[in-house]
Amino acid sequence: GENVEQHPSTLSVQEGDSAVIKCTYSDSASNYFPWYKQELGKRPQLIIDIRSNVGEKKDQRIAVTLNKTAKHFSLHITETQPEDSAVYFCAASYRRGGATNKLIFGTGTLLAVQP
C-alpha cells in the first residue's frame, strides 16, 4: 500500500544548530520527493524537491538526500533561524494503474527553533 512515514513528529533545536527530518516511503516506483513547509494558519509551500536520478540537492541552508535502495529521504536545515519554525511535510509520488498521479504526504514534523 501507499505509505510515507516521517520522523520525528516534533523537533526542538537551538538557533544556529542543524535540524534533520527523515522519511521512509513504500512504493519502489516513487520518483519525486518534495518537501513542504507550513507555517501556522498558512498554506503549505514547497521548499525543495528531489528526483530519483540524483542522491542529493542543496539550496542555501537546505539540503535533501535520497537513498533509493533503502527508500529513505531526509531534509537537512543548517544554521537554523527562528523563522524556520513551522511544520514540515515530506511527500513521495505514487503510481496507481500505471500512472503517477498523486503525492502521499508524511504526517509532518513540528520544528521549533529556540532563540
Partner 1 sequence: GAGVSQSPSNKVTEKGKDVELRCDPISGHTALYWYRQSLGQGLEFLIYFQGNSAPDKSGLPSDRFSAERTGGSVSTLTIQRTQQEDSAVYLCASSLTRAQETQYFGPGTRLLVL
* Binding residues for partner 1 (CB under 8 A): 6, 31-32, 34, 36, 42-46, 49, 51, 89, 91, 93-94, 96-97, 99-108
At closest approach, how far in Å is the CB of 29 from partner 1?
11
In angstroms, rounded to a whole number, what is the distance separating the alpha carbons of residues 109 and 115? 19
Q: Is residue 30 within 8 Å of 68, Cβ to Cβ? A: no
CB atoms within 10 A of CB 26: 14
Q: Which is nearer to partner 1, 51 or 61 (CB)?
A: 51
Q: Which is nearer to partner 1, 74 or 106 (CB)?
A: 106
In angstroms, rounded to a whole number, what is the distance separating the alpha carbons of residues 9 and 97? 32
Q: Which is nearer to partner 1, 35 or 113 (CB)?
A: 35
